[in-house]
Every structure is written in structure tokens, then in C-alpha cells.
Structure 1
Amino acid sequence: APDWHNLTPKTLFSQIRHELKAYWGYELNAENMDAVIEKHSLQKISLLRSFALKVGLQIMLREYDFDNKNKASFSGSDIMNIFPVVKHINPRASDAYNFYTTGQNKIQAGAVTEGHELIAEALNLLNNVYGAMHGEIAQCLRMVARLCYVTGEHRDAMAYQQKAVLMSERVNGIDHPYTITEYSHLALYCFANGQVSTALKLLYRARYLALLVTGENHPEMALLDSNIALILHAVGEYELSLRFAERALAVTNASHGPRSLKAAVARHLLARTLSCLGDFRTALQHEKETYSIYKQLLGEKHEKTRESSECLRHLTQQAVVLQKRLAEAYAR
């Protein structure tokens, strides 16, 4: 009988551990896959997706029960197709690439108009070389949209970004990391154009896909949650905004550290939301921590530190006013 007939989950896991140690030099200190998943807080559906992509497996679209120990999660009929995974390097349109990188350098140097012209020329060349649909064209469209947004042309930014989203969906797939990024950028431009409900729908869509691909604890999830919290805050949905802001802070603390600039930004958003809900004491605690991080990392004279100091003063005043009103109400 072939060797794979006698393969058990235990021997397969042993082979995986050996391969990891021999090829990557990584020691997997666990007895089985369930222990690895628990230790690293992995998501089984994300692992399945990643495995299928890497080995060229197409499986049936249905709800898989991974937690039932008495029943196999998969059957032979779940495997729909097998594709060869070909490793190759895509040919590059060198002239367009040179225009694109030069444009990026110009923008970083502060010459936005020149950079914009070069990237528009790169987009034109890419269309001539690749035709209507290509991954590099989608990236170029995203850059043009961002430039339009920076220069205040919000309507043009949204139009270019819509093209980038449609192209990325077609070329990369709907759950590709690039497509998720395109959704979040389009959400920002929709919000800038006053289309709040569309912006929220796009961010929820991006969050759902990111959750499927990476799980809850990825740094990108913190960014998406912060953006959702900001939009909900802007439309007065403070209770829901608070939930997303708290989640964003927890993930940021875990991935970047509690004393990072990203943590300071997350705390500032949380403080603003809590103050809108009237919880000035907790808001003050978060803003004090924000001020402390900015002061340590950026110095007292930095714009962010001064802004946080002003916010602290404002929150303290609001807390005093609220305390006085409560005292007057009790006195009556």
C-alpha cells in the first residue's frame, strides 16, 4: 500500500515539525495542530484558505465544522479541483515602472504636481503595454486617487479609486489583501464626498474580508477598526464607535506595544468617544496616557503633544462642569 494510506495526523504533524526545523530553523513547540492554533490564536478558516492557495486546491464552498471531533471535517467530495502552482516572475513594463518610481520620489520630495504628472504618464504607458486589466494598473490607479485626494480633488479621487477596486477584484480576487486595501481607500474618499453610509458599508466589507484572511489580531484590523470608529463617531453613534475604538487599542497594544505612537492615536480616539458619552474620568486617563507617550517620543514642543495637552485641559474643564451640575442636582 502507498505510504500516504498509513499516514495519521500524528505522523503528519511530526513531519511538519521536522520540515520546519530543517528548512526554516524554527522549533514548533507543540504536540498537535490544535495546540499550535491555541498558542498563536490562529483561525482555522484562515489556515484552510492559506493552505488551499499555496497547494493549488479548490474546495467546495460550504460551512465546515472544525470543532466536531467525532466527524471528519472533510470528505472526498469536498475537493472540487487541483491546480498546478507555478512559480514565476511577471515581466515588467520597465519604462512605466521608471516613471512610477520617479513620480513617487518627486512626491516624497514635496513636488506633488510633477509627481502627479509622472504617475499619470506611467498609467498611460501601463494601459498601452498591458491592456485594460492588470494588477500594476490597479496599484497605479490607487496612487493617482491618493494624489487627487491630497490635492483636494475628492470627486476625482473617488472615481479613480472605484476603478482600482473593480480592477483589483477582477485581477487579484475579492479576498486578496490588495483588494481589501482598495476597499478601505475607497471608503475614505466616499466619506470625504459626504457618502457616509457607503463608506461604512465598504469598511465593514473590508473588515469582514480581513477577518477571514488574517483573523482578529492582525495590525491591519486595528487600522480598520479605528477608521470605522472614527466614522461612527462623526455620525454620533458613540456607543458602537466605543466598541471598535476599544478593539483597535487592544490590537495596537499587542502588535505595536502600549507605548507606541499608534497606541497614542488609538487612546486619543478612545478618549474623544468616552467624553462624548460623558465618561470624563476614563477619558482623562486615556488622554493622560496619550500625552505621556507624545511627550516621551516627540518632545513637549511637538504639535501632537500640544494638541493632547489642550485636549486634557478641555476634558478637565468638562469634568468640572459636569461635577458642578451633578452637585447642584443633588442639592435640589
Structure 2
Amino acid sequence: MSSFIRPHIFTWTNSYSVRDARLHLRHVRDLLRSLDPADAYNGVNCSSLSYLSFYTRDKDGESVGNRRASEKESVACRPPEYILPGCKDRPLTPLQPVRDDWKPLQCLRVLTMSSWNPPPGNRKMHGDLMYLNVLTMEDRELNITSSTRGFYLNQSTAFNFNPKPAVPKILCHSLVELLSQVSPAFRKTFSALQKKRVQQHPYERIAGPFQVFTWIAPQGDHSLDCVRAEETHTSRMGQDEHTAGQSRDWNEELQGCRELTRNSLQDRLHRERSIFKTNSDFVEAATRGAVAVVDGNLMPLNPGEAPHMQMFIWNNLFFSLGFDISEHYSPLGGNTAAHAAAICDLRGAQAYTSVDIEGLHTLGTAVVDYRGLRVIAQTIVPGILEKNQEQSVVYGSNDYGKTVFTHPRFLELLDKTSKPLRIQRHQVLDHRNSPVELCSGIETKGILGNDGRPYILDLLRTFPPDLNFQFSETEERGEVPKECQSFGYPRRHHHSLANLRSELIEAFVQHRTGDTATAGADMGE
């Protein structure tokens, strides 16, 4: 047996596998589309959309950095007027700048996967991995075989399968090398494309972590893209792309970044970079998971429930929909209130995170609106799935104020947030009229995770309600000042979760503090 196998052994380091061939094809595709801004406009694969060279190049395309030092010319690097605040006359043009040199250089007309894929069993034994169809700029149709040894032309056509190598036989280790030999136009254009690509600033090629809104991008032509089509149909239908034990623990990553040291300036810079990078990756994963939830590509935890009541876990993230599941929001506005509660909770989490109290932890939260549905993605508290939430809550109320808990550790941590968030420590009464001391809204819950960290969640009552927008007209309008009544307040609103913004609270505090200081100075005189 060994004497039969040994002659067929060759150097595996130089041979292709199916995975290597697909990665090579993706890399070639990225090179061919490196100057095409379509991926950046559509937010595909976190492609970067940089305006750097748009503002640093003059009308002739010459870079400011390449000018001679003797030429003292002033260059206006200000953004266009129509995207600045206060502009009244905005043209019906995309908000993103469009450059003439962003027009991609076309090396091929078509590069797609062949309909003869996958290779039959006998051809797999010969080393065939996949088949490609190419239409060159000279309108020459090519059928290419990707094998373990490289790429070569075969004799197949659209209706006749003939995997034999074409004459003359050309075997190349790279797809670019093969196309350069059979297409002079490809060789010339690809060389020019690479020279133009290396002239770009590195910031224009680094993937951007910010979300790109496609409705503000200019409308472009939709071109053939075999890699994009293949990834769409082979995306595992939204399933986790990681094997067991290799998926990222988002909660541990986020909390670990916040626990980094902040003693020196270098430590603080490293901590902020780590938080920004991890949070950007978390938002990207939450967005992909939310799209999979709405598209129906994930199996819910409770498949027997109605679709709007289903919950999901994917990639160590918990997903729920913005509906009133337990009728908790029925007196507040029902599903409309539940829809607004997600944003209120997100703003509360942002407020506590911005205060940045050491030892106090919030959940990673993202709210994604997709196809008319609101999806809430949150990290999972360690150990929360192993026991009931009623047994986990040690601070706040889990039954809408009937039973209220307090905890000295949470009181100590939340007391540090009282001054920046303008939340005073107070007492509430439970159903037994027993006073319980809190330092937050009664619906805010405190949970001690299995990792020993204190977590606070359900932060939708972080900011005070806006009494100018009432859900019902139970309050008499006579209590409202005449100045407010002249403007139509209080106004009927769809829900009772209209909260004041943090900026208004800070402006009010500064106004009152300034008045008090002025009055004190006058009295001192």
C-alpha cells in the first residue's frame, strides 16, 4: 500500500486547495475593484470611504504633497457648503463627494463562476477545484480550470463540457499571470491600475468601522461580481461562521477593554483605541445578526411563540424584537412604547458608559432598524442563562415595582454617577410600603454576573420624562402655564416614554447655576 501512495506524494505547500482557490479569486477580485468606490458606498466588508485625496488634490489631480516647496499656494480644504450646518440651499446631489478619478479601470468585462461547477468526481481525482468563465476586453470568451497546480484554459463551452487543456497549454500559478498572457488589454490595464492603486494614501485603503448609509450615496451601475454572488448564496444562511469554541465573547472583550489601566496618557490612549475597535466590531456583528434575524435565517430560542415574540442567540449575542411581549408597555403605549424603549435604553447605556465609573458595567447594546423592524442586540451577562432573572436581580425591581431590592455595592457605584447624571439618591416604597433606597430609576436592574462584575440593565428611565408630551389627557391642562398653552402644550403623544435629552438637562443646570451665582454676587454687593 505504501509503495502505491508514495509516487503520488508531491510538495503540498505549492498546491491549491478549494479554500485557497476561493481566497485567491477573492484577492484578484479585490485588486480589480480596488479603485471602484461601489463597495465603500454600499458599506460592503467595511470598505473605506475616504475624502482625503478629494480635499488634498487640485483640479488637475496633482497632490498637494507633491508640489514644490517654493510654490506657496493656498488650498481650500473645507468641505462643500451643502453639507455644512445652516446651509439653506442644498442641491439634490449626493452628500458624499464624487471624483472623476474614482472611475475604475476595467480590466475584464466578465469574471464569473462557471455553470459547470462543481467538478464531477472523476475530475476531482485529476485535481480540478472549480471552473471560471472570463470575457476579456477583446471579447474573447475563456473557460478556466482552477486545479491544485494552478490555473489553465480548458476546451469547455457554454453547452459542451470538455475539461481537457486548451492548445497551447498554459499553466500558471496565479490567475493574474494567466490572464496577462492571454489578454494584452488585461496586462496593460492591470499594470496601470496597480500603479494608480499604490498612489493612494493608506487611510483610503484601511477599512472604516463606521456605518455607511446607502441612501446618501450616488447611484452607480450594478456590475457582475462572482465573489459577491457566491458569498450571498453561501453565507451559511446567517449561521455562525465560527466553529465551536472559536466565537468571540463580546461581553468579555467589551468589559475587558473598559477595565484596562488608565494611569498614564499612553494607557488611556491604548484603552480608548481598544474600546473603539472592539465596539466597532461588536456593532458590525450585531448588524449582521439583526439582518439574519429579520430575514428568517436564524433558529429562535422559542420557535413555538409568535414571530414578534421570538428571541435569538447568535455569535454570543442576544437578539429580541422591539415589540411589547409581556404587555409591560400596554399602559405606556403598547408596541409604540416598546419601539421607543429600545432607544431610551440605548441612550441610558451610553450615558452610564460616558460617565465611565470604574467597577460599574453596562451591556453592549446595539439597535438595528431593518426592513421596518427594530432589532435589539445585547451581550449576554455571564451566567444569566443558567438561572432565572428573578433570582439574579439584586438591585431594582423585576416585577414593575412590587418587590424592590437594593444592594450596597450597586449603591456605592451608582452614587458616583449621581452628580454627572443628575440623579439623586432617593427612597421608594414597595408593595408593603417599606422604604428602599435607590440611586437610579426603579426599573433599572442590577445583576451580579458569574464573573463577579456588577451589571446594570434596563436603563430606559435614566432621563426624566418630558411632560410637554403626554400619552393621555388625564392631567388637567389648567396646570400648564399660559405661555406653554399658547404653543399647544401639552401635546398628545403616541407613548409616554418621551424623555428629556441629556443636552437639555445640562443646559438647564448650567443656566440655573449661572443665575444662582449671579444672584449670590448681587446679594454680596
Pick the TM interval, shorter chain. Answer: under 0.3
State the TM-score, normalized to the length of structure 1.
0.24
Which structure: greater helix fraction? 1
Q: Which has the higher contact order (CA 8 A, sep 6+)?
A: 2
Larger Rg: 2
